[in-house]
Structure formats: C-alpha cells, structure tokens
Structure 1
C-alpha cells in the first residue's frame, strides 16, 4: 500500500490548523467562519439549487440511456454483496444519524414556521411533510449517485485508482497525477472531514439530549457531549480495525434492523391510519411539486420563503455535497458488479422511499401529537434545543423510556458506522485509492474526525456544525460538475452492443 505523502500531509496540516484554531481562538473562528458561510449562502444559493437539480436530471437521463446496461466491472461480474446488505451499508453511511436527529424535529419546525403562510395550521402540516421529504429525497441521493457511479465505473471497469481525481482522466489526462489531481483529492478529504464531523456532532448532541431526558442527573451540555464522543470514538475505531466485511457490514445490517423495529413499533402503537394517509399525501405532493421546489429562490422580496430557503434547503444541499466524497466513495466500494441502471435506481429510489416512510411515521406522528394532543414538542424545541424533540415525542407512547433507549442505541450505532465508513474513505483518499487502507491511517483519521466534531460543537454548537458543511461544500460542488462532464466523455467511448432480432422468413 502506497501512501500519497502530499495529500496526506496537506490534509493533516489543514485539519490540525483548524483544530488548533478552534481550541485557541474559538470566538475568532466562529465569527470568521460564520461570515464566510453567510457570504456563500446568500451569494451562491442559486448555484447550489441549480447544481443539485442538474445532478438529478443527469442521473435520470442515464437510467433511460443506452449506457444503462454497462456493468461496473467486467461484463460477466456479479454483485459483491446481496441487495439487502448493499442497501443497508449505503444507507447507514449516507443518512443514518441525520434521519434520527431530524425525523421528528424537522417536520415540526416546518409546521411551526412554514415557508409560506401561518404556522400551526392543517395546511402547514401538509406542507411540512412535503418539504421535509424534499430535503431527504431524490436530490441528495442524486448527488451521491453521481460521485459513486463515477468512482465505481473508473475503478472497476477502467482499473483506475479509487480516487476522486482518477475520475477526471477523460478531461485532464495525465494531469490527474500532478498538482491538479492532488488538489482535487485534498478538496475531497476536506469536504469529507467536515461533512462527517457535522453529523457526528449532531449525533453526540442528540445522545446527550436523550440521556438527559432519561436520567435528569446527566446534564445536556458540552461536557457530556465530549464524553459521548470519546466513548463512541473508541467503539468506532474498534469497528474500523475489524475490517469492512466484519465491523461495517454487521453494524449496517444491525442499524437497519433497529430502524425498522422502531418504525414498526411506532406505526402500530401510534395513529396508524393518520400515518398511512400522511404518507400517501406527502408522496403525491412531493412528486407533483418537485420541479418548482427544486428551483425556488424568491428573488423579488426578502420574504419568509426566501429566509426559509436559505436556512433549510441551501444548508441541506451544501451538507449533502460535503458528504458526497465520503458516501460516494463508500457506495462505489460496495457496488462492484452492478449495472449502471441498477446502481442508479437502487441508490435513488430505495433510500427515498425509506425516507418517506420514516418521516410519515416520525414526523406524521409528531404533528398528530402537536395538533390533537397538544404535546408541546415545538415549545421543547424552542426552549431546550432540536436534539430533545425525538425524546419528548417518544414520551407520549407506552413504554416511552424503552423506546428512548432504543433510539439512543440506534443513534449510537449510526454514529459508529458513519465514522467507521469515513475513516475507510479518508484512508483510501491518501493511499492512492487502496481498497484496504492501513489500520494506522484509519485510526489517525478517526481521531481527527472526533476532535473536529468536538471543536465544531464547542465553538458554535449546532450552528457551527451547519457552518462547516456549507463552507466545505462550495469548492467541491465545482468538482462534481466537472466530474459529470468527465463521466459523459468516458461513457461516450463505450462500445454499446445492441441486440437486434432478425425478422423471420415467410414459409
């Protein structure tokens, strides 16, 4: 295994400088990064919307194109993992912590403060579920599809290194081995580091909030979050050292089993009919309104809609882009042998449908409690923080404490698999795309990830986590656009075999 000293060295320096900056001058770091984030968000919000929509249109085009039957590997290769295991691994890496964190909190936030109209109404409830699915549906998975497909295609079909830079060979040629290619890989490491650190911070904050709800003597503060990060760091590094086919595989399957168990319990002890109706309505509204929502910026007034788009949609698109090199690399690693069409449909549709079911159960039940039971979850969010919403929601159910313990366990396992997968991906990027980076490299990156998450939480809380995502995503969005161009050039050189049936001769 050969280590790229330039990529590893520069990436490490950036990470260490950031960590030291946050420790020594936390207020200065928070102020400067907030200013950068506001500039990017307000000046280039339109760019994020156009880019994410372009990636989705491109992915759908490939499904119906002549390239759909191209296999990510040799023409006779079979998939390395079963469909269930494949889905579990990509989903756990892609959205696990976020779904649990925002499952109740986001729909209720939109319900209380919608982009248009008055909050707390039945109309706001309907819009809340549709808007939530918009943020977790096809667009983020299209971003992951683009980078995952590109990496898998060049790695398994063209025998290129498993590096982000290697996907640019059709437009850069041998320059991918020089400074330009190294810069692309460093940007990928930078985006991965802060994108994943953001999610780990969310996970630590929610575990802290859950423990505080269950055991009042445990304070929900930064100290508790630090202890949680330290404990989980030990666990995910242990998992990382066990390898892809042991730690991540088994934990990913366990994640899905826990998530499905929690959903089924809440579905059948909750307002089942309301949930089913909410799911159907949400899916219909989402499909009908998708084009308009994808490009909504409200440029003619500083309206409630414009502020909402900046605070929610732009943040999410940036967060998904910052996660793209991590999730895309990991999805590519476990997708050998699948066809282009199978890959895209699997990555786009299955997680989107799962997300729709998840938010119908979690968010739909939360809205039901708020409307019909006056549960006061919105007040809890405003007073105690977003991370408490899930546990306030679970209090209303029979055996609520047991459900809260199950939720904390789910968050912890998602935390472990996300961090575990991230150390694997970061290790690949600094070892010339090695499919099995050394344990030492993975441990080092695991520690850096955890410290970065702690610094972000300590300097800016949840707002600091969002700031890091938006800043790290901006340069990598440009990389993704060029990657799309490069993939098209490569696919155009494929020899597509068309099977034409001969007409039978008349007797």
Structure 2
C-alpha cells in the first residue's frame, strides 16, 4: 500500500553500563499466527480449486452483507482522528511533555512523503482510472462524467480516508509507547478497557489479528509487485511471464530481506527507499514535461476540486440503490480492507518517526503531506492514460483494464526515452518490492515479541521466519488465482481487525479523557509554583541570586542528594505512613556519575498511583553572561521533578527541606484533585488482577535504566 521504509529506530543514547532488556518471543502470538499462515498457505498450494471456491464464497457474502460495515468504519475512523486533532487533546504530545521531535520539520515531512508511495500505487495509478472510465459504479462508461470521475475515484481510494486509518494506529502506538512507556504493541491501546487482561489471551488475540492483517496486506503488495515486475523484466530482457519467473522474484525478495535482517543494513534499506521516491518523482516529472503539461496541471487542479467536493457523499456511498455490489467488492471494500490490514504496519513506522510531535500536527501532516504527492502522481499518470484512451486508442485502454500489470509500462512506452523509463520504473519497483518484504518481516517480528523498550525490534531469526512466511503466502495466493485472489483474501482478513480498530478508538479516547481530568486536577489546586521556587524565610536574596547563576557538577549534586533530598523525602514518607498511607521511597543509581533518582509512590487501590520522581538530568552549560561555576565540564546537572506525563520543568537543586516537602504536597494535592474529577463512567477501572491503572509506574523501571520520560533529556 505504501513505501515500506525500515521502521528501525536509532538506538537510545544511554550512558555506559545501562542494562537493556532483550526482546522475548511471545509464544502464543507467534504460534497462533505462524501456524495459521503456514497451514493456510499449504492448503492453497495443495488444493487451489477448493481454496479459490471458498475464498470466493466468503468474499461474496462480505460484499453482500458487510459492505456497509467497511464503509461506516472508514468514515468513523476519519471523523475520529479529525476530532482528536481539533480538540483540546490535540496539544498532547506523543511522548512526555518535555520531549522534542527527533527529526526536524523538513526531514519529518520528507519521511511522511516517502511513506506515501509503493509499487502498488504505480500499478493502480494507470489501471484504475482507465478501468473506472470504462466501468464506473454508476452511469454509463466512456462518457464525460465517467472521464471526470475516473481519477477522482482513484484519489478516493488512495486519499485521506486511508491515511486516517494509518493516523489512528500511529497515534495509538506513539501515545501509549512514548507517553506512557508501555510496550510498542496494539494491545497497549486496550489497557484502558480491560486492564491487565491485555497481557493474557485477549491481548494475544488482538496481536494475532493485527499480524494476520499485516502479512496479508504485505503479501498483496508483493503479489502485485511480482506480476508487474515480471512484465517489466519481459520488456527489458525477454523473461517470459509466468509462475516460474514470479516464483523466482519471490525468492529474490525473501533472500534479500533475510540478508538485510541478518546483516543489519536497515539504514541502507532506508536510503534505498528514499532513492525510490526520487526515481518516482523523476518519472512523474518526465511524463509531465514530455506530455501536455498545461492539460495535466489543469486536470490536477480539477481533480482536487472534485475530490474535495465529492468526498463527503463518496465516503458514505454504499450504492444501495444501484446494485454495484461487485464493483464495491473489487474496489472500495478491497481498498478499505487493504488500508486496515496495513494500518498496524505503517502506523508503527509513523509513530517511530513522530515521537515528540503533538497529536494535532501528527494528524494534519499524515492526512495532507502524503496525499499531496499521491494527488500529483495519480493525476499526472491517470490523466495521461485517459488522454490516450479518449484520443481514440481503445486498444491501450482495453489492455490497461484487462491486464493491469502492463498498464504503467504501456503508458511509459508512449513517451520519448521509453527504454530508459521502463528500466527506471523496473528498478524502482524492484527496490519497493524488496523493502516491503524487509520492513514487513521487521514489523511482524515486533508484533510476535514482548518488547519493553519501544526503540528495539524483534529477534533477527524471527524476522527471517516472517520473510519466508510472507513469501510462501504470496506464492500460494498467486497459484490459487493471482492478484484477484490476493485482493479477496485481504478483504476477508481485514474484517476482524476492523473490530479491533473500534476498540482502539474507544481505549484511546478514554485515555485522552483521563489526561484531561489530570490537567483539570492540577489546575484546580492553583499551585503556587513561584512560591515553591523562591527561597524560604531562612534564606536571603543573595543566596537565591547565587543559586540562579550556579551550574552544579556531579559532586555537588551527590552531596545535596545525601544531605537534603533523601532525608526530606524520607520524612514525607514517614508522615504519609503515619496517616495510614502505604507510601514508599525507592532510589537507584541512574548509571553515570554515581547520581541517583528518587521515587516517592503512594498506592491508590483501584485508582492511579501517586508517583513523585526526582531525576538528575545532564544539561549543557549555557554560554551567556559568563556564568560558569564548573569550568572543567560542558555539562551541569538539574534535579528535575517527573510525574506520569514527563518532566514538570522544575529544578529542585539547592532547595531547602521545606521547599521540597511543599512541592511534594503540591503534587499530592493535584493528584487528589485529578482523582476527584476523573470518576464515574469515564474512570479507568483496574484489570482483572487488580492493577491500579494503565499508566507507567516509574517503580517498574529496572535499576539503573533511564525511564523513557527522561531519555531525550540526556546528552
């Protein structure tokens, strides 16, 4: 569906000696999904006629009875992500409040742009407009109205609605993994609904559904790529089209994906993916310049206007009165199922590159940046093909409609330098094809693993297995009936995961409602931050001035922790316990300079625990004003206050005992106000095992490991 950029994230820059938990295979998910795929593939290979009949019957039933559900789901998801973006919750970050984006705006939008193209887009950018011209869902084919809507229907199937599905899963991945430090898994989004049961069979079932959707979605793209590349190789080298050549291409994809998984060349794959985009841009530019440039630009603007005007009615059109069930099954329902199947895959990639972005900018960029490129590519290629057909070349149109894998190459043959264009298109398609297999295996290994650190991926051997399994499934579907069978299987497998998407929306909304209550709770306390930061009655203004201009090193911080910080927090814990609260104070070294973090926690039964953490954060010494009390180092250390959503921006270094205690009580009062607001139906209940809530518990961070909330603050 899209360019399969590698989803590997750069390793966290953690201080030496910080332990990392190795990913573990989730045996239930791996066994359930792996066995299902292998058995299904063997069934299709050994009994192709039976498999084709069964798949056809199921697709017919879905098209007749469940088409409305797919259409409604696509519309609901689109409305949901737009509502999140424009609401007050749109300002929430995919990460702690203090987090900064990993990539600058240009690089980030370029990567979103790169995610918007794949070999299947080249496949359908010519084949679908021509097919819609000859056989529209309503009205007569070959008319002016059919010509006008041909490209619009293609944009509809590749446009905002599909990207809204990606945006939903990207938000869910990014929010729960980077803001709440939960595993990078779809089951995390269901924590607000079922609590700790997500770690059991219910969570396994959700992950299996996501993985099955992903592998069928990737297999569909690989199948489309196989038949299209086979024809490109036939034009270039005379390699005959058929099962033998297509099987060889599948083997090439599996071998290259395996080599990538074993050798760790993810950065190289990413660069190849970016090169693919440049080659696609070159093809678009060539056709635009060599063709009727003014007509193509006029048509592009016209297509955009028609798309915007027609989108609301098209989004909910089930063709109930025209009886276009077959058309719906072959186009809209297939595309919606395909987008649903790919949503976990691409959503994971989008989340990986968007840490630190607000939900609003993530949604706006995801819905607009890739679509702009898709608009240009589909309009240029689609209108160029329609111009040939309406100009009288019916043979070209019939070939593009009946053998869609040849449509794109047939278009390129109409322009000067056709051999070079065909070679460039084949090379681009081959790279898209290989990177899809590689990235698909990477994501599926993540889905079948238990990973606490969101920056890690599944084991390499697991990636190899899923690369081979995807190749086997692709081959099986091609043997059964080619691309139409792959499309039908995707339509079937997308149905159960569409139910999961509703659960994700409900869980995500409950989480956002809880965060709103938390913010309101803090506001209700009317905390006096200024009073907390100013020196107490036992300090003079000179001491405050000295503190403002100081940049303490590790020795001063250790001394302060031992003499002031630890005793003050211990005193607070003692009083909490005296008043009947089961308060605890934990401390652990952070892994560098002998500094420690301190976490004061109070269990709250079925409600969210109270956590108050003070963590040493290394910060560059500013160069302004000549203030440098530590000339031997470019770093100084802040003792920052953290809660569940990240740093509060408060540096308690050199605060006296009363100031520290008052700040703890300020946070305690804000937490109680949050709990009093966040009650009733929207309250997130404990899971079956009585876990108090679904948020990150700072106490669960292994000794010496930097919590996710503070990693981006480290040098």
What TM-score do you get using the length of structure 2 for normalisation? 0.67
1:389 aligns with 2:407: yes
**Structure 1 counterpart of 2:36:** 14
1:414 aligns with 2:416: no
Of 423, 427, 431, the residue aligned with 2:445 is: 427
Deviation at 1:239, TM superposition (A): 3.0
**Structure 2 counterpart of 1:77:** 99
Measure, in 1, the Cα distance between the counterparts of 2:30 and 2:156.
36
Tell whether the 8 Å contact from 2:108 to 2:354 is kept in structure 1 after alignment: yes
Deviation at 1:482, TM superposition (A): 1.0
For structure 1, which segment, 148-157 or 57-66, has the greater mean C-alpha deviation from structure 2 after superposition? 57-66
**Structure 2 counterpart of 1:41:** 63
Deviation at 1:249, TM superposition (A): 2.2
Tell whether the 8 Å contact from 1:79 to 1:337 is kept in structure 2 after alignment: yes
Does the C-alpha gap of structure 1 residues 168 and 12 become closer, same or farther in structure 2, counting only changes over 3 Å? same
From the two aligned structures, give the one with the greater helix fraction.
1
1:361 aligns with 2:383: no
Deviation at 1:402, TM superposition (A): 0.8
Of 176, 183, 190, the residue aligned with 2:198 is: 176
Of 242, 255, 265, the residue aligned with 2:276 is: 255
Measure, in 1, the Cα distance between the counterparts of 2:401 and 2:281.
29
Deviation at 1:112, TM superposition (A): 1.4
1:472 aligns with 2:493: yes
User: 1:267-278 counterparts in 2 under 5 A?
Assistant: 267-278=288-299
1:337 aligns with 2:359: no
Tell whether the 8 Å contact from 2:256 to 2:434 is kept in structure 1 after alignment: yes
**Structure 2 counterpart of 1:123:** 145
Tell whether the 8 Å contact from 2:113 to 2:369 is kept in structure 1 after alignment: no
Deviation at 1:87, TM superposition (A): 4.4
Tell whether the 8 Å contact from 1:2 to 1:432 is kept in structure 2 after alignment: yes
1:151 aligns with 2:170: no
Deviation at 1:238, TM superposition (A): 2.6
| Deviation per residue, 1:29-65 (Å, 9 max, x gap) | 1111121121112210000000000111111111211
User: Secondary structure at the residue paired with 1:376?
Assistant: helix
User: Secondary structure at the residue paired with 2:331?
Assistant: helix
User: 1:83-482 counterparts in 2 under 5 A?
Assistant: 83-87=105-109, 89-90=111-112, 92=114, 95-215=117-237, 217-243=238-264, 246-302=267-323, 305-372=324-391, 374=393, 376-383=395-402, 385-433=403-451, 435-482=456-503
Deviation at 1:496, TM superposition (A): 4.5
Deviation at 1:271, TM superposition (A): 1.4
Does the C-alpha gap of structure 1 residues 416 and 71 become closer, same or farther in structure 2, counting only changes over 3 Å? same
Tell whether the 8 Å contact from 2:63 to 2:325 is kept in structure 1 after alignment: no
Measure, in 2, the Cα distance between the counterparts of 1:166 and 1:250.
31
Measure, in 2, the Cα distance between the counterparts of 1:410 and 1:485.
40
Measure, in 1, the Cα distance between the counterparts of 2:124 and 2:222.
14
Deviation at 1:440, TM superposition (A): 1.0
User: Which ranges in structure 2 are unaligned for 5 or more consecutive residues?
Assistant: 1-22, 524-715
Measure, in 1, the Cα distance between the counterparts of 2:111 and 2:466.
20
User: RMSD between aligned alpha carbons?
Assistant: 1.9
For structure 1, which segment, 79-88 or 350-359, has the greater mean C-alpha deviation from structure 2 after superposition? 79-88
Deviation at 1:301, TM superposition (A): 4.2
Deviation at 1:227, TM superposition (A): 1.0
| Deviation per residue, 1:322-359 (Å, 9 max, x gap) | 11121112222222121111111111111111111111
Tell whether the 8 Å contact from 2:49 to 2:480 is kept in structure 1 after alignment: yes
User: Which ranges in structure 1 are unaligned for 5 or more consecutive residues?
Assistant: 500-507
Measure, in 2, the Cα distance between the counterparts of 1:148 and 1:35.
34
Tell whether the 8 Å contact from 1:71 to 1:337 is kept in structure 2 after alignment: yes
User: Secondary structure at the residue paired with 1:493?
Assistant: helix
Deviation at 1:366, TM superposition (A): 0.8
For structure 1, which segment, 78-87 or 482-491, has the greater mean C-alpha deviation from structure 2 after superposition? 78-87
For structure 1, which segment, 24-33 or 79-88, has the greater mean C-alpha deviation from structure 2 after superposition? 79-88
Higher RCO (CA 8 Å, separation ≥ 6 residues): 1
Deviation at 1:259, TM superposition (A): 1.3
What TM-score do you get using the length of structure 1 for normalisation? 0.94
Tell whether the 8 Å contact from 2:138 to 2:322 is kept in structure 1 after alignment: no
Does the C-alpha gap of structure 1 residues 163 and 254 become closer, same or farther in structure 2, counting only changes over 3 Å? same
**Structure 2 counterpart of 1:56:** 78
| Deviation per residue, 1:457-485 (Å, 9 max, x gap) | 11111111101101110000000011001
For structure 1, which segment, 447-456 or 241-250, has the greater mean C-alpha deviation from structure 2 after superposition? 241-250
Measure, in 1, the Cα distance between the counterparts of 2:338 and 2:397.
24
Measure, in 2, the Cα distance between the counterparts of 1:214 and 1:412.
13
Measure, in 2, the Cα distance between the counterparts of 1:243 and 1:339.
31
Deviation at 1:287, TM superposition (A): 0.5
User: Secondary structure at the residue paired with 2:25?
Assistant: coil
For structure 1, which segment, 85-94 or 456-465, has the greater mean C-alpha deviation from structure 2 after superposition? 85-94
Tell whether the 8 Å contact from 1:88 to 1:252 is kept in structure 2 after alignment: no
Deviation at 1:94, TM superposition (A): 5.6
Question: How many residues are aligned here?
Answer: 495
Deviation at 1:95, TM superposition (A): 4.5
| Deviation per residue, 1:401-421 (Å, 9 max, x gap) | 110111111111111222222
From the two aligned structures, give the one with the greater strand fraction.
2
